[in-house]
């Protein structure tokens, strides 16, 4: 339907769109970043002003009131935004995973969600929640990817520009891939990691064109972000146009403690493996706690009035703030600042009731800093950097206390009604864990020759791996954002050990949330145990079908009674092509598509034989479709009426697949004909026009048909997909699984050897739950057979 | 056939093998590197010793004699090694591409090839050829990947260890992927790029397990290499165990010229695009020249005595050495050394008849250096670094002259009988091109505020892109090895422009060499124009088939007469399951596999109908298979003999696919039975035993059968693949293409709606040439139809 010219045109538009997606995503990331910076700056400025005024007068609780007030105020904003658009809660990565996996996720990629998410994350991060901005940023990128190429209804239509591009699911999914890659690139300064992320979560198979585009998109996003950042005070000493900034996460350069020690040496690998295993255990427990909490929350909080959701958010903000303040005040230790690191981290140490140092220019040089306050009254990124690079010792109780606080509060926070990334809190908790171990070793007098920061990094990787069960792409992101190729091997090994240990207990947190929401995500491999299953065992044998030429009224009824998204186009086995057409009164000379694949009269004898051989064949019985037995096809058959009845029950020759949206659009556009006038009088409709309303097609209830119209006939054979991927009924499940993942399918018709449709497999049939049910049914049935 | 325990065992073995592959690859890369270093050091030491003695006495041609002697000596070694094992010539990347694409490449992955390649590249690089060591290193990694898991015949068998693992093509291909990734990681210090390389060239679809393993393998290789390197004088100031080395290619850190200028700013992007276009043109011309040369060489040099091959190599060495010496002596310019860069590049500037400076300790500080000699009497890596970072100006004539020399000599060298990487020479040529442009601009008085090194880098990318038409993975490798994320966007844009411009004229050089050798590589997309073709148009309708139970003699004859690697297992349409068995005299109670999919008696009437409807159906006629019409199946049919004859001509029901190697092994192991004793007496054989000899299966001519054995029957149904991927005869070609690429197929049976086998598609049917023939045939035929 496209001319050669249009092909090139489309390719060009694709590149332009991709560049736009990258630029907009980078800009949004920049805005989020700047917004958080100023909101947080405002909060801490006021807090420390009041703190300075009151620290000696004993009325320091006023400072607590200030910071608590700010945090509650911010949290109300975040909570309300999410209450308005509930899908903006959480990190968004599970949703993006599902979307790219090929699942229809309503509202995930709307402008409204973008606004709620991007503004919400400003307030949730600035409000002192233990959440990261990276997940929401990836989600924002994905929404930008979904939105920009579809701007039609907002812009082009009003400007009356012709813009007939990208009106199908595959294109949209590709753009969302690019957007997600751009989001990752902006969030972590890791464009290659971004491409891998979208490849891993999204692509069925390696698509070179898509890979180029997403790399380009990720690069545009990184460069845009860096360009904007270079012009702001967020990056010290940079002039606008100097582009050499990292992404939003910057782990800083690892030194080796100024001594001749190494970053790591081989014997330490064993210790790293132990840390990885510990991270896996801690992560698994985190996931288990969070799972129970999430289920409880879904039952008891989210079902009730939306106000409870906001109240919970405020409660979390209060608890976080108050506990941090009290702990830091009462239990923080004053630690002397070591000169070497003073310069680099002067801005982010907090002296909080410790002996003050000098203030030079605007930088406060502390002779002592409160280690707990330094961890708790900072952005999480600064806390991580402190743990990675601060040579001044954190004391063991401080690290332990901070770890426990962070662990449980972060666990409580993830899943509440605020936009909340998981990456940064996990890194913080893990860095505390790693730093705790090295400090414990030092306290116990075990000599170590390597940098304490290395342990913090390894601990961070271990815990992150234990919670999200790092995929390849996340590993690459971590390696890329560390920017030290030297850490590649230990990071990789730690992450893998953590993943393996964690997998003994439960799944990654993203996957758990997907499962809790009962979304049929397809994993990477078919589960091992189900090797014995075949397509027949998992398919839904309840065929929903129409004939190539059907009455409009019966199609309408079918659409109203069922919720299926795809329907078989079939002809009954016992009726030959000519018979079918005559039985519904169409003139014989009509050019029916399915004559090309005409049903062979030899099939007619099939049913008679079939009955005779029923035991030998042991074929599954198929439920009768509920809709189409309204007599339309009860034409004369050349065989006995007994055979005919069998036909109605059993056997339909498969011709193609047609989507619900196509049927609705065909009816809405009145693409049907009067049976007295013949099929030639059916008006044609172009592919473009049929997809005009993508992705918001009308429902069947939006269409009003007159009784006369219901009596008309529709020839769907021109619009169906005449050769979708199909699978043989005795194909092993692994094959089914591969086809689904690889080709990104939603519906897979199961066809018998001789072209008889016997069932349909959808994603829901491939969920763990369903597969185990099928397996159980089979082994039960099998043992019966053997009796 | 595997128990649960064995599964885990295999998974563990897989990880161990992968780690070993990484370690060995890293070690080989290290050895190559050290070998080249010392061979080259020896050469230049002697050369400069003689040069120092003779430079003032006018007998400096003695120095020329020394260096020419060394180079000829080295080139003889390289030439002879390649003469012994011809597949060790060239970069090896085309061969690895083909191997990973799923093509059987004889001798590519043998130990012998590894030795020839690894030793050959030592001498070719040290011998002053304009070749790189990176391609051969990747090839070496791939061979290690293929070899280590298959060490059985060398080691395990002699130690009598049980080692029944990894005996099939898929496993082997996966290990080769990992090895190639390790090779890239070692060569470029780019483990992520390595993973992408093997994913892009090898994987059909994203396989998470494989990706983890290849990342691990690449990391092991990088770390191993760095560990070894840290202990040698190759890396100054490093102690053994300090791992922070880059890979073998290190571009050095880009400064911004010590001024306040930037590495690049946005307006320069337009200039970079122009440079990219120029690089594309230069690359396309390079490819075109090299193609003509390669074809000429294949016809006139390689066909003759092997001595000509070695002589050509020696000639290239002579010409390179002499022309470089004369040019550097006569036309080199003396350029003052700028202090800032002196320290860093003191070792690699050459003063060559320029005023000498002081020698301090062992480092020679030149006040002046000969710019042409600096480029020509250095390793190419050092030349590249000079071009990237040397602030002292290279003069315009020098750059131009060096460019012309390098361009033509490199073009001549690639494809000659030495192991020769393409990456580094292209970078050198491109860096000369980029540096030439900035120098020309500076000479013309156009002010530039950015670092000249940036232009050299962009030029290098442009030319490399123009020659090899960079894929995504190579782009990532370049970005990774530059180690400046800032250069990501300009590099990406330049590479893409160069690729697009070059693609207007010809293909990438690797692909050209693959095409010249007539290897049926499957590209990324099916060619655009062939959208109209269907499976029927491209398939080979000449069925080579056997029956589920066949006479051993007829199988033997089939194997001897044909060269096919896979055979259909079919039954004739007109004979039902019982009839077939009875016709070959097997007792009816035998448990034949194909009863599961029994041929339905309804098919019997098919042929009668078929004849009647021949015009309506317009089905293709299939050639009769030449072998199996030896009367085995002429059993009684319930219909007319006319119908039976039709059956012999036309219609076979498809049951499965069996490989040549399986048939040969079955015969060799005497897996057949006497027809008087029944199928139960056929001895069983395990999957493991059947694949014992993988990958070097016996041929059919290695087996001696007695006449009595030829009369026996074989039931292949237990060993065939009962449900391979198949495709419907009217599926569009794009579908065929996707299945082949995605699932890594070699054979795709084409099946009609009712289970009738109608043809086979292999890779050879999907080559450009064949597709265009099919397209031509179809349009010709189509126009006839319309008449």
- CB < 8 Å to A603, chain B: 602, 754
H-run or E-run covering B382? helix B380-389
* Region B694-698 average pLDDT: 72
- CA–CA distances in Å: residue B131 to residues B222, B407, B426: 22, 12, 9
Minimum-distance CB partner of A222 among B485, B602, B743? B485
Model confidence at A115: pLDDT above 50 = yes
| B628 touches A: beta carbon within 8 Å | no
With an 8 Å Cβ cutoff, are B600 and A606 in contact?
A: yes
pLDDT exceeds 90 at position B733: no
For residue A525, list chain B residues with Cβ-Cβ distance below 8 A: 208-209
CATH number of B268-307+334-516: 1.10.3080.10
B486/chain A closest Cα distance in angstroms? 6
Range scoring the smallest mean pLDDT among A28-42, A137-151, A530-544, B251-265 = B251-265
Quote the pLDDT of residue A601: 35
Comparing alpha-carbon positions, the chain B residue that sits nearest to A202 is B206
Chain B segment 718-737 residues within 8 A of A by beta carbon are 723, 725-726, 728, 730-732, 735
Give the residues across from B732 on adjacent strands: B534
- Give the residue from chain B lying closest to A198, CA to CA: B206
pLDDT band (50, 70, 90) for residue A154: low
Q: Does B256 touch chain A (CB under 8 A)?
A: no
A10-230 under CATH 1.10.150.80, yes or no: no
Phi, psi of A305 (to 5 degrees): -55, 145
CA B694/CA A276 separation, integer angstroms: 39
Q: Which residues of A are less than 8 Å from B494 in CB distance?
A: none
Phi, psi of A768 (to 5 degrees): -50, -50
Residues of B in contact with A741 (CB under 8 A): 205
CATH 1.10.3080.10 range(s) for chain B read: 4-230, 268-307+334-516
Whole-number pLDDT of residue A685: 82
pLDDT for position B614: 39
Instruction: For chain B, say whether A216 makes contact (Cβ under 8 Å).
Output: yes
Q: Residue B709: pLDDT above 60? A: yes
A437/A526: higher pLDDT: A437
pLDDT at A58 over 70: yes
**Range in A322-331, B39-48, B144-153 the model is least confident about:** B144-153
CB A488 within 8 A of CB B222: yes
Torsion of CA A517, A520, A524, A527, to 10 degrees: 100
Is A199–B191 a contact, with Cβ atoms under 8 angstroms apart? Answer: no
pLDDT at A407: 96
Structure tokens at A207: 């698509």
d(CA B133, CA B248): 9
Residue B245 confidence (pLDDT): 54
By C-alpha distance, the chain A residue nearest B266 is A241
A208/B472 CB distance under 8 A: yes
Residue B638, chain A, CB below 8 Å: the answer is no
**Residue with more model confidence, A312 or B626:** A312
What distances in angstroms separate CA A442 from CA A22, A194, A447, B90, B122, one per listed residue? 47, 38, 7, 55, 48
Provide mean pLDDT across the span B583-589. Answer: 35
Q: Which CATH superfamily is domain A268-330+378-516 in?
A: Clc chloride channel (1.10.3080.10)
Q: What is the pairing mode between strands B359-360 and B368-370?
A: unpaired
Query: Is it the case that residue A400 has pLDDT exceeding 90?
Result: yes
Mutate which: A639, A655, A754, vs B, most B CBs within 10 A: A754
Nearest CB to B489 within list A219, A596, A742: A219
What is the average pLDDT across B629-649? 34
Task: State whether residue A602 sits within 8 Å of chain B by CB.
Answer: yes
CB contact under 8 A, A241 and B266: yes
Alpha helices in A590-749 (DSSP H): 606-612, 614-617, 641-649, 660-668, 687-690, 707-710, 733-743
The answer to whether B421 and B132 are in contact (CB under 8 A) is: yes
Least confident of A329-343, A404-418, B490-504, B609-623: B609-623
Q: Quick one: pLDDT at residue A241?
A: 62
For residue B334, pLDDT over 90 is answered with no
ipTM: 0.77
Asked if B602 lies within 8 A of A603 by C-beta distance, the reply is yes
Is a pLDDT exceeding 60 seen at residue B362? no
Contacts of A596 in chain B (CB under 8 A): 730
Average pLDDT for A367-374: 79
> Given pLDDT bands bounded at 50, 70 and 90, which one contains residue B613?
very low
For the segment B119-144, the average pLDDT, to the nearest whole number, is: 92
Q: Among A557-571, B181-195, B382-396, B668-682, whose mean pLDDT is lowest?
A: B382-396
Tell me if A222 and B604 make a contact (CB, 8 A cut-off).
no
Helix (H, G, I), strand (E, B) or coil at A657: strand
Q: Which range is least confidently modeled, A3-7, B133-137, B373-377, B451-455?
A: A3-7
Let me know: does B455 contact B435? Beta carbons within 8 Å: yes
Can you give the pLDDT at residue B601?
Answer: 35
Contact call for residues A424 and A384 (beta carbons, < 8 A): yes
Chain A closest-CA separation from residue B681 CA (Å): 24
Nearest to B601 among A596, A609, A755 (CB): A609
Q: Are A610 and B610 in contact (CB under 8 A)?
A: no
Mutate to test the interface with A, among B5, B102, B201, B206 (most CBs of A within 10 A): B206
Whether chain A has a CB inside 8 Å of the CB on B600: the answer is yes
Residue listed under structure tokens 């897979």: A748
Residue B600 has pLDDT above 60, yes or no: no
A606 CB neighbours in chain B (<8 A) are: 600, 602
pLDDT on residue A695: 67
> Which pLDDT score, from 0 to 100, does residue B90 have?
87
What is the distance between the alpha carbons of residues B776 and B726, in angstroms, rounded to a whole number?
25
Helices and strands (H, E) in chain A, number of each type: 31, 12
- The residue that leads in pLDDT, B52 or B240, is B52
Give the separation between CA B114 and CA B137, rounded to whole angstroms.
10
State the SS3 of A272-315. Answer: HHHHHHHHHHHHHHHHHHHHHHHHHHHHHCCCCCHHHHHHHHHH
Quick one: pLDDT band at residue A245, thresholds 50, 70, 90? low
Q: Which residue has the higher pLDDT, A763 or B113?
A: B113
Are the C-beta atoms of residues B238 and B39 closer than 8 Å to each other? no
> What's residue A380's pLDDT?
84
In this complex, is the C-beta atom of B616 within 8 Å of any C-beta atom belonging to chain A? yes
Of A199, A246, A489, the CB nearest to B219: A489
The pLDDT confidence band at residue A613, using thresholds 50, 70 and 90, is very low
Q: Which CATH number fits domain B4-230: 2.40.50.140, 3.40.50.1950, 2.130.10.30, 1.10.3080.10?
A: 1.10.3080.10
CB contact under 8 A, B489 and A223: yes
Whether the per-residue pLDDT at A82 is higher than 80: the answer is: yes
Q: What is the spatial distance between Cα B315 and Cα B376, in angstroms, rounded to a whole number?
A: 18
With CB atoms and an 8 Å threshold, state whether B199 touches A191. Answer: no
**Hey, are the CB atoms on B208 and A485 less than 8 Å from each other?**
no
Q: How confident is the model at residue B238 (pLDDT cuts 50, 70, 90)?
A: low
B306 three-class SS: helix
Q: Do A475 and B243 touch (CB under 8 A)?
A: no
Report whether pLDDT(B635) > 70.
no
Q: Are A761 and A539 in contact (CB under 8 A)?
A: yes
In three-state form (DSSP H/G/I as H, E/B as E, the rest C), the secondary structure along B205-253 is: ECCHHHHHHHHHHHHHHHHHHHHHHHCCCCCCCCCCCCCCCCCCCCCCC
Determine if the peptide bond prior to A242 is cis (ω within 30°).
no
Beta strands in B481-576 (DSSP E): 545-546, 549-551, 566-572
> Which residue has better confidence, B546 or B603?
B546
Tokens encoding A769: 């739950």
Compute the nearest-CA separation of A268 from chain B (Å).
12
pLDDT, residue B695, reads 67
Q: How many CB pairs under 8 A join A and B?
A: 182
What pLDDT score was predicted for residue A687?
75
Res A158: pLDDT: 64
SS3 A54: helix
Q: Please give the torsion angle defined by the CA atoms of residues A179, A181, A185 and A186, in that order, rounded to the nearest 10 degrees.
A: 20
Least confident of A471-485, A587-601, B520-534: A587-601
Classify domain A529-786 at the CATH class level. Answer: alpha beta
The pLDDT assigned to A414 comes to 92
Q: What is the mean pLDDT of residues A697-725?
A: 83
Please name the member of B219, B472, B731 whose beta carbon is closest to the beta carbon of A488. B219
Subunit contact A485:B191, Cβ cutoff 8 A: yes
Residue A779 has pLDDT above 80, yes or no: no
- Give pLDDT tens digits for A407-417: 999 999 998 88
User: Looking at the complex, does the CB of residue B527 fall below 8 Å from at least one CB of chain A?
Assistant: no
Would you say residue B163 has pLDDT above 80?
no
Chain A residues touching residue B195 (CB < 8 angstroms): 472
The predicted-structure confidence for A622-644, as pLDDT tens digits, reads as follows 222 223 333 333 332 222 233 33
Cβ–Cβ contact B255 with A under 8 A: no
> Which of A638-652, B44-58, B284-298 has the largest mean confidence?
B284-298
Angle at A592 between CA A587 and CA A594, to 5 degrees: 135
Closest by Cβ to A262, choosing from B242, B525, B597: B242
Q: Is A257's pLDDT higher than 80?
A: no
- What per-residue confidence (pLDDT) applies to A605? 40
- A143 vs chain B: nearest CA distance in angstroms? 23
Residue with the bigger pLDDT between B761 and B583: it is B761
Would you call A196 helix, strand, or coil by DSSP?
helix
Nearest Cβ partner for B222 among A191, A226, A488:
A488
pLDDT range class, residue A425, cuts 50, 70, 90: very high
Model confidence pLDDT, tens digit, residues A275-301: 999 999 999 999 999 999 999 988 887
Mean pLDDT, to the nearest integer, of A5-33? 88
B619 has a pLDDT exceeding 60: no
| Residues A731, B723: C-beta atoms closer than 8 Å | yes
User: Looking at the predicted structure, is the pLDDT value of residue B165 above 60?
Assistant: yes
Q: Name which of A22, A245, A489, A739 to mutate to probe chain B: the one with the most chain B Cβ atoms within 10 A of its Cβ.
A: A489
User: Does the distance separating the beta carbons of B222 and A489 come in below 8 Å?
Assistant: yes
């Amino acid at each position: 339907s496209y001319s050669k010219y249009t092909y090139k045109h489309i390719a060009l538009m694709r590149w332009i769109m991709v560049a736009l997606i990258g630029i907009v995503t980078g800009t949004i990331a920049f805005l989020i970043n700047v917004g958080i910076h100023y909101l947080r700056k405002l909060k801490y400025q006021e807090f420390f002003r009041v703190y300075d005024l009151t620290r000696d007068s004993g009325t320091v609780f006023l400072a607590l009131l200030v910071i608590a007030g700010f945090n509650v105020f911010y949290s109300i904003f975040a909570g309300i935004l999410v209450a308005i658009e509930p899908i903006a809660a959480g990190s968004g990565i599970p949703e993006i995973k599902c979307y790219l996996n090929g699942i229809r996720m309503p509202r995930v990629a709307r402008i409204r969600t973008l606004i709620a998410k991007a503004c919400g994350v400003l307030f949730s991060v600035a409000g002192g929640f233990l959440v990261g901005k990276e997940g929401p940023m990836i989600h924002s990128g994905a929404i930008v990817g979904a939105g920009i190429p579809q701007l039609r209804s907002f812009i082009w239509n009003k400007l009356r520009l012709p813009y007939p591009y990208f009106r199908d699911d595959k294109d949209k999914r590709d753009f969302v891939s690019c957007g997600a890659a751009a989001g990752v690139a902006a969030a972590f300064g890791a464009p290659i990691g971004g491409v891998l992320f979208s490849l891993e979560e999204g692509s069925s198979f390696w698509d070179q064109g898509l890979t180029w585009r997403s790399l380009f998109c990720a690069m545009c996003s990184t460069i845009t972000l860096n360009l904007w950042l270079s012009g702001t005070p967020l990056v010290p000493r940079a002039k606008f146009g100097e582009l050499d900034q990292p992404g939003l996460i910057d782990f800083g350069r690892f030194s080796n403690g100024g001594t001749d020690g190494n970053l790591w040496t081989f014997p330490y690998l064993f210790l790293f493996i132990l840390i990885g295993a510990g991270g896996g255990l801690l992560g698994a427990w985190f996931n288990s706690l969070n799972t129970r909490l999430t289920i409880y929350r879904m039952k008891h909080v989210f079902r009730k009035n939306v106000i409870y959701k906001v109240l919970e958010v405020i409660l979390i903000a209060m608890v976080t703030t108050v506990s941090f303040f009290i702990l830091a005040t009462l239990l923080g230790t004053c630690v002397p600042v070591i000169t070497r690191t003073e310069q680099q981290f002067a801005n982010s140490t907090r002296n909080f009731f410790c002996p003050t140092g000098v203030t030079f220019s605007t930088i406060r040089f502390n002779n002592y800093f409160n280690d707990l306050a330094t961890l708790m009254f900072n952005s999480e990124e600064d806390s991580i950097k402190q743990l990675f690079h601060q040579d001044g010792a954190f004391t063991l109780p401080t690290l332990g206390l901070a770890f426990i606080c962070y662990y449980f509060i972060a666990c409580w926070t993830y899943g509440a009604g605020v936009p909340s990334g998981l990456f940064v809190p996990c890194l913080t908790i893990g860095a505390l864990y790693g730093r705790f171990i090295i400090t414990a070793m030092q306290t116990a007098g075990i000599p170590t020759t390597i940098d304490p920061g290395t342990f913090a990094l390894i601990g961070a990787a271990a815990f992150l791996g234990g919670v999200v069960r790092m995929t390849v792409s996340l590993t690459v992101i971590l390696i890329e954002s560390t920017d030290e190729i030297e850490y590649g091997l230990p990071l990789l090994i730690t992450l893998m050990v953590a993943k393996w240990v964690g997998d003994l207990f439960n799944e990654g947190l993203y996957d758990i949330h997907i499962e809790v929401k009962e979304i049929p995500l397809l994993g990477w491999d078919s589960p091992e145990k189900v090797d014995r299953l075949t397509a027949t065992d998992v398919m839904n044998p309840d065929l929903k079908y129409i004939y190539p030429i059907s009455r409009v009224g019966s199609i309408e009824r079918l659409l109203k009674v069922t919720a299926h998204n795809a329907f078989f186009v079939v002809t009954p086995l016992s009726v030959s092509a000519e018979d079918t057409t005559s039985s519904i009164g169409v003139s014989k000379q009509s050019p029916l598509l399915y004559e090309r694949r005409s049903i062979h009269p030899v099939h007619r004898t099939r049913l008679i034989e079939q009955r005779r051989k029923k035991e030998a064949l042991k074929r599954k019985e198929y439920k009768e479709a509920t809709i189409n037995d309204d007599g339309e096809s009860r034409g004369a058959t050349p065989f006995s009426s007994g055979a005919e009845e069998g036909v109605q029950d059993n056997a339909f020759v498969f011709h193609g697949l047609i989507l619900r949206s196509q049927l609705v659009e065909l009816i809405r556009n009145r693409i049907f004909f009067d049976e007295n006038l013949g099929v030639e009088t059916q008006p044609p409709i172009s592919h473009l026009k049929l997809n005009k309303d993508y992705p918001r097609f009308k429902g069947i209830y939006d269409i009003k048909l007159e009784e006369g119209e219901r009596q008309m006939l529709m020839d769907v054979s021109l619009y169906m997909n005449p050769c979708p991927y199909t699978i043989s009924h005795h194909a092993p499940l692994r094959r089914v699984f591969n086809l689904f993942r690889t080709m990104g399918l939603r519906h897979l018709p199961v066809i018998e050897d001789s072209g008889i449709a016997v069932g349909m497999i959808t994603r829901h049939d491939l969920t763990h739950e369903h597969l185990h049910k099928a397996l159980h049914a089979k082994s039960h049935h099998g043992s019966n057979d053997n009796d």
